[in-house]
Amino acid sequence: MKIDIENSNGMVFLSIAGNLDNNQKGQFQETYLQLLKKNTRYFILDMSEMNFVDSSGLGALVGFLKKIRAVNGKLKLCGLVDSVKETFSLTCLDKIFDIHNNMDEAKKSLSA
């Protein structure tokens, strides 16, 4: 898994490429915890290059969302590939996360 981070106007854009699974969740958690320590509160997670997410990865995402909500922050997801979108739908996480088709939609939603 590869995580790219970009900061702009008080927002952090995270792009994940590869799989978010039990083997990779620690790297993801470490990344977001470091960002939260810097008082970052607004995140967009681009998942357009994420091939797969398992229950451990979903748990890491839910943990991220809980931590963001605890500090009155916001998290937007975007670019989910069909297989990941289906996983979110089957687990009803599409009702919990704010999911957008692309980065532009997510940015507009975050700045609104």
Q: Are 43 and 12 in contact (CB under 8 A)?
A: yes
Domains in the chain, ordered, with CATH?
2-111 (3.30.750.24)
Residue pLDDT tens, the chain, 112 long: 999 999 988 899 999 999 999 999 999 999 999 999 998 999 999 999 999 999 999 999 999 999 999 999 999 999 999 999 999 999 999 999 999 999 999 999 987 6
Q: What is the pLDDT of residue 10?
A: 85
Per DSSP, the three-state class of 10 is coil
Predicted TM-score of the model (pTM):
0.94
Question: Which single residue is written with the structure tokens 């681009």?
Answer: 46
Nearest to 104 by CA among 35, 17, 46, 42: 46
C-alpha of 13 from chain center: 9
- Residues 6 or more apart whose CB falls under 8 angstroms from that of 39 comprise none
Q: Tell me, what's the pLDDT at 81?
A: 97
